[in-house]
């Protein structure tokens, strides 16, 4: 970590992005693995490669485009990450604060986070969508550790309403209109990249987790620090390890994500229209 993560560090990235567009995005979208095709529907888009943005992180996953897409979706000005950053890729937790802080400086007020997750709650089914009501993060450090950047928020901050109630209500209403049986539950953060063991899943269930996954939480914490509104949606791509008598494969994760992509996109689009 050669550079210090101060306000100027993030501002340099944001100023570069703002110099490429003639509007300020209101909503940021970070779309989870296999759920990213919604970004193709963004209109009047301007695409900026991560590698061209000063101080921005660079995607390590080959299949990820590593691009920021700015434009219009469902009548809203959006910025969308095509390719997100995870701790398991080798970044430090502090580095993972970066996209959200840059979005804050672009003028974004609302962050929509989606992910693929394993269903820990045995009443859930593969293909179900869960609105994140709350999370549990017992692993690793906070993305906002280190010297506090006071321009973003205070040293200590509240997490009671990190997943904004008003947005959860919008998601529930849209799901009801679409006759989609939506869940609401607790997302348990897992640093990965290995999936959990069956014993770990039993422990997560006892602790109160309904779904488990390797993303989203660092972004939600960073957003709470700078008082942005957050909506988190998880797609249950598989039952978590040990729930079924079968091994867990990434093929299953990808397959479910592909199968559910259309209904997920429809839900997301209508939610964005109402934000
Ligand atoms: N565990 C952790 N992350 C995941 C899973 C899982 O079962 N499925 C998709 N992402």
Q: What is the pLDDT of residues 79-130, one digit of tens each?
A: 999 888 999 999 999 999 999 999 999 999 999 999 999 999 999 999 999 9
Q: What is the pLDDT of residues 244-253, one digit of tens each?
A: 988 888 888 8
253 lines ligand 1 (CB under 6 A): yes
Q: Is the peptide bond before 77 cis (omega within 30 degrees of 0)?
A: no
Distance in angstroms (rounded) separating the CA atoms of residues 5 and 68: 21
pLDDT at 54 over 90: yes
pLDDT at 8: 95
268 lines ligand 1 (CB under 6 A): no
- Residue ID of nearest Cα to ligand 1 atom 10: 117
Substitution site in 127, 212, 256 for ligand 1 pocket (most atoms within 8 Å of beta carbon): 212
pLDDT at 38: 86
Substitution site in 201, 215, 236, 238 for ligand 1 pocket (most atoms within 8 Å of beta carbon): 238
- Residue ID of nearest Cα to ligand 1 atom 7: 118
Distance in angstroms (rounded) separating the CA atoms of residues 14 and 18: 6
pLDDT at 258: 86
From the CA of 88, how far away is ligand 1's center (Å)? Answer: 13
- The DSSP annotation for 66-132 comes to -EEEEEEETTEEEEEEES---GGGT--GGGGGHHHHHHHHHT--EEEEEEEEEE-STT--TT-EEEE
Substitution site in 116, 200, 256 for ligand 1 pocket (most atoms within 8 Å of beta carbon): 116
214 lines ligand 1 (CB under 6 A): yes
- Residue ID of nearest Cα to ligand 1 atom 2: 213
Of residues 175 and 59, the one with the higher pLDDT is: 175
28 lines ligand 1 (CB under 6 A): no
- Please give the DSSP secondary-structure letter assigned to residue 54: T
Q: How many CA atoms lie within 13 A of 232 on its CB side?
A: 32
**Number of the ligand 1 atom closest to the C-alpha atom of 239:** 7
What is the value of pTM for the model shown?
0.95
Average pLDDT over the chain, rounded to an integer:
93
Tokens of 46: 């301007």
Q: Among 112-126, 161-175, 255-269, which is the least confidently predicted range?
A: 255-269
| Phi and psi, residue 235, nearest 5° | -100, 125
- Residue ID of nearest Cα to ligand 1 atom 6: 118
Query: For residue 197, what pLDDT band results from cuts at 50, 70 and 90?
Result: very high
pLDDT at 172: 98
Query: For residue 259, what pLDDT band results from cuts at 50, 70 and 90?
Result: confident
| Phi and psi, residue 175, nearest 5° | -60, -40
From the CA of 214, how far away is ligand 1's center (Å)? Answer: 7
pLDDT at 117: 96
pLDDT at 61: 64
pLDDT at 176: 97
Q: What is the pLDDT of residues 22-43, one digit of tens each?
A: 999 999 999 987 677 888 889 9
Tokens of 226: 């700078």
Q: 45 with 20: CB under 8 angstroms?
A: no
pLDDT at 2 over 60: no
Tokens of 272: 């964005």
Question: For 191-197, what is the mean pLDDT?
Answer: 96
126 lines ligand 1 (CB under 6 A): no
């Amino acid at each position: 970590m050669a550079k210090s993560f101060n306000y100027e560090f993030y501002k340099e990235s944001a100023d570069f992005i703002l110099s490429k567009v003639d509007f300020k995005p209101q909503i940021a979208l970070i779309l989870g693995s296999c759920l990213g095709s919604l970004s193709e529907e963004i209109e009047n888009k301007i695409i900026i490669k991560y590698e061209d943005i000063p101080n921005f992180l660079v995607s390590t996953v080959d299949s990820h485009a590593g691009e920021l897409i700015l434009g219009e979706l469902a009548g809203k000005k959006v910025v969308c990450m095509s390719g997100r950053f995870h701790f398991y890729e080798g970044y430090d937790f502090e580095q993972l604060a970066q996209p959200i802080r840059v979005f804050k400086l672009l003028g974004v007020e609302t962050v929509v986070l989606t992910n693929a997750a394993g269903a820990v709650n045995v009443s859930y089914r593969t293909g179900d969508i869960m609105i994140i009501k709350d999370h549990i993060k017992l692993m690793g450090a906070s993305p906002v550790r280190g010297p506090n950047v006071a321009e973003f928020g205070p040293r200590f901050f509240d997490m009671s309403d990190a997943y904004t109630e008003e947005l959860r209500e919008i998601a529930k209403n849209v799901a009801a209109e679409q006759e989609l049986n939506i869940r609401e539950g607790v997302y348990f953060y897992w640093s990965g990249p290995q999936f959990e063991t069956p014993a770990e899943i039993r422990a997560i269930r006892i602790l109160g987790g309904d779904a488990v996954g390797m993303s989203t939480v660092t972004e939600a914490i960073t957003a709470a620090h700078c008082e942005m509104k957050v909506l988190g949606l998880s797609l249950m791509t598989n039952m978590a390890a040990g729930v079924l008598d079968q091994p867990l494969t990434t093929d299953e994760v990808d397959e479910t994500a592909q199968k559910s992509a259309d209904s997920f996109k429809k839900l997301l689009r209508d939610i964005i229209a109402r934000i």
